[in-house]
Chain A
Amino acid sequence: MKDILVTRVIRWKKQVLSVLFWLLFPLIATSLFISFTEKIQQDTQVPIGIVLGEETPLALGVLDAIEQSPLVEVTQLTEDEALIQLEKHALDSVFIIHQGYEEQIRKGNRTNLITSYRSDRSLAYSPVKEMVVSFVQQETIRSKAAYVVMDLETKYKREIQRDWEEIIQKSKEVQAEQDLLHTTFQFQGATQPKNENPLFTWNVWGIWAVFTLLSTLLLLDWVIKENSSNIRSRFTFTKIRYHHYVVKNLLFYLGLFIIVDGFTLLFFYHYFSTQINMFVLFTFRVMITLLAFIIALLSKNVYLFYCGAFAFTLFITVISGVFLPVNGFIQEITWLQYVNPLHQFLSEEVTFIWLVGSIILLCLWYFRKEKVDA
C-alpha cells in the first residue's frame, strides 16, 4: 500500500495545483456563492430613514414591521439628520412618524399620520411608500377593530372585558398563526435560519453537493488517462495488477476527500452555522466517489468525459432544486428523484440506494477483472 501511495504522490506532484483546486473547489465555490448572493441581497435593499416622533407601542410596531421587510434597510435618525442624508442621496426616502401617532390611531384617524420625503433620485420611493402605508393601514385597522371589539364587549356586558392592548396583542398572535400573505422562497432541503428574514434561504450542503459532484468527476479523470495509456501494458509485469492499483488509488482519493469534507464540515459550521449528520455526509461521499469512478471506467475519451461531467452536473443541478425551486415539477415527475444521486443527501438522509448500486457495480467490475487476469 505504501508503494502505491508513493507512486500516487509522484503523479500528484505534477498536478498539485490542479488537484488542490478541485479538492477545495466545492468548499470555496459554495462559500463564494453564498457570500455573493447574500451580498447581492443586502445591496439590493433600499436604504430608508425612519424618524420616530414618539416611542409608543404602535409607533414602535410600525418601525419593527418595516425593519422586518427584506426589501429595505432601515436607519432610525432624527428629522434633521434624515433630511441631510436624503439630500446626500444616502437614503432613498425618509418617513416621519409624528408625535401623537398612537393617539390619532386610537381615535380612528387615518390621515396625516406620517410625513414622507423623497429626492429626485428616490427610485424606490413609490413601492416603499406603498409598503409603509400598508403597515400603517394595517395597524390603524387593527386599532379600529380593537375598539369595535371593546364596544361589543361593553354592549353585551361580557364579564371579563379586555383592554385595547390585550386585543391588539391577540390580533397579532392570530395574524402570525394564520399568515396567508407572507411567503418566502425556500429551496429543496433548505432550513430557514432563525432571527433572519431573507428573500431566499440557500441549502448550503445542497450547493456543496452539486459542486462536489463536478469536482469528484474531474478529479477522477486519471482513471481514463491511465487506463488508455500504454503504461497499462506494464502492469502485467509488476507485483500489483492494474485493477488492484486503480482500486487502491481510489481509496487514497477517498481518504483525501474525507479529510477535506471534515474540514468543510467545520468551516460551514463556523461560517454558515449549518450542520449535517456525519454519517449522511460519509455515505454521500463514498457514493459520489464510487459513482464518479464507475463513470470514468466506462469512459474512453477524457475530453468527452469532461463534457459529460459538466452536462451531468447541470442536469443534476436542475432536477435537485438546489439553485432553482423545483417542488412543483418534482411533484409531477416523481421518477426524477430516483435518478438523482443527490436526492437522499439533499433530504439529509443516508444515501443508501445509489451507494449500494455503486458498490455492486464496482464489485462486478473488480471480480470480472480478477477473472480475466487469472
Chain B
Amino acid sequence: MLNIESLHKSFRENVILHNLTFTVNPGEIIGLVGENGAGKSTLLHILATISKPSEGSISLNDLSYTTERKKIRKLIGYVPQDIAVWEDLTVEENMVFFEKLSWVNQTKEELRNLCQEMKLYKWKEPVNTLSGGMKRKLNLAISLIHHPKVLLLDEPTVGIDLKSRKEIGTYLQKQAVENELMIIYTSHDMDEINELCNRVICIGKDPFYKDMLLNSGKEIISF
C-alpha cells in the first residue's frame, strides 16, 4: 500500500502541492488530473523518488521514502512523458539493454513475452521505424522489466492513435488486477481516465476537471 500523508511541496515561496493525503491500494488505478502546472508531474516525481517533498511523509509497503529510498526504487516503475528509449536500437536491444541494468534478470523470451502482452510484436525493428503507439508501448514495457509494485505513468498515451491507447489501457487494467500493481496515471483525456481509473485525484485550483467527473460515478479526491 502506498500512503501519502500531509504532503507539501514548494519551490521557494511558490506552493505547488499543499497538504495531500491519500492512499493507493494494490490493484488500484488512480487517475491524476489537473490543469497544466497544477503539480501532477511534481507529485509523480516525488512518488518516484526523483525529488523530495518539502513536508509530509510517504511510505510504500511500510518502507519510508525518507530512509529506504533505495529499496523503494526497486518497487517503482516510472514511465516518463518523453519516450526514453534508444531510437537507434531495435526493440529487442532496448529490452536487453535495460534488463542488464535492472535488478531482475530475465531471459530474452520473457522480455519478448512482456512486449507481446501489450501487442508490441516488432521485436527486431529499430525503434526509429516504429509508430508513436509502438514507441509508447516500449516505453512502458521497459519500466515493467523489474516487476515493480507501483507504476507511475506521466501522460503515457499522449499523441498516439486510439487503438494503441486502448491496448495500453487494457494491458494496465490487466496488470493491476493480475499482479496487484498500484498504478498512478496522469492524463488530460477524461474519457481515458473514466474508463481506466478506480479513483481520481484532482489537483489544482481550476474546478474544470472536478466538474467533468461529477457524473462519472468515480470517487474523486480533490486538493
Which A residues lie at the B interface, using CB under 8 A? 3-4, 6-7, 10-11, 13-14, 229-231, 233-240, 245
A7-B100, A10-B97 as given contacts; A234 in contact with B89, CB under 8 Å: no
B162-182: CB near A (< 8 Å → 1, else 0) gives 000000000000000000000
Contact A237-B93, Cβ < 8 Å, known A3-B101, A231-B85: no
Residues in A whose Cβ lies below 8 Å from that of B84: 229-231, 233-234
> In the complex, are the beta carbons of B85 and A10 less than 8 A apart?
no
Q: Smallest CB–CB gap between B93 and chain A, Å?
A: 5
Q: How far is the CB of A246 from chain B (nearest CB, A)?
A: 12
What are 9 A-B pairs at a CB distance below 8 A? Answer: A6-B96, A11-B86, A11-B97, A230-B82, A230-B83, A231-B84, A234-B78, A239-B102, A239-B103
**A236 and B48: CB pair below 8 A?**
yes
Interface contact B82-A236, CB-CB below 8 Å: no
Name the A residues within 8 Å of B82 (CB-CB).
Answer: 230
With both chains docked as a complex, state the minimum distance between the C-beta of A2 and any C-beta of chain B, in angstroms.
Answer: 9
CB atoms of B98 and A234 under 8 A apart: yes
Cα–Cα distance between A355 and B86 once the two chains are bound (Å): 34
A245 to B, closest residue via Cβ: B101
Whether A6 and B86, one on each chain, are in contact in the complex, defined by CB atoms closer than 8 angstroms, is no
Question: How long is the Cα–Cα vector from A13 to B88 in the complex, in angstroms?
Answer: 11
**Nearest CB in chain A: distance from B145 CB, A:** 9
Cα–Cα, bound, A234→B144 (Å): 12
Contact mask for chain B residues 66-89; partner A; CB cutoff 8 A; 1 contact, 0 none: 000000011011101011111011
Chain B contributes a number of interface residues (CB within 8 A of A) equal to 28
Which residues of B have CB within 8 Å of A238?
Answer: 98, 101-103
Min Cβ gap B136→A in Å is: 13
Secondary structure of the A contact surface, majority rule: helix
A14-B83 in contact (CB<8A) = no
Q: Tell me, in angstroms, the Cα distance from A265 to B142 when the chains sit together.
A: 44
Report Cα–Cα, A230/B84, bound state, in Å: 5
Closest to B139 in A: A230
With contacts A230-B83, A231-B85 taken as known, whether A236 is within 8 angstroms of B78 at the C-beta atoms is yes
CA distance A238 to B98 in the complex (A): 8
Q: Say yes or no: B78 contacts A237, CB within 8 Å.
A: yes
Smallest beta-carbon distance A99→chain B, Å: 78
Q: A6-B96, A236-B48 are in contact. List 14 more A-B contacts (CB 8 A).
A: A4-B100, A10-B89, A13-B93, A230-B83, A231-B85, A233-B80, A234-B78, A234-B80, A234-B98, A234-B142, A237-B48, A237-B77, A237-B78, A238-B102
Sorted from nearest, which 10 A-B pairs have the closest CB atoms?
A: A238-B101, A230-B84, A3-B100, A230-B82, A239-B103, A233-B80, A6-B100, A7-B100, A14-B88, A7-B97
Q: Give the distance in Å from the alpha carbon of A245 to the alpha carbon of B98 in the complex.
A: 12
Looking at B49, B74, B82, B86, the one whose CB has the most chain A CB atoms below 10 A away is B86
Any A CB within 8 A of the CB of B50 = yes
> Are B73 and A240 within 8 A (Cβ)?
no
Q: B157 at interface (Cβ–Cβ under 8 A)?
A: no
Q: Is the CB of A237 within 8 A of B76?
A: yes
Instruction: Report the separation of the CA atoms of residues A124 and B162 in the bound assembly, to the nearest whole angstrom.
Output: 82
CB distance from A230 to the nearest CB of B (A): 4
Q: How far is the CB of A357 from chain B (nearest CB, A)?
A: 32
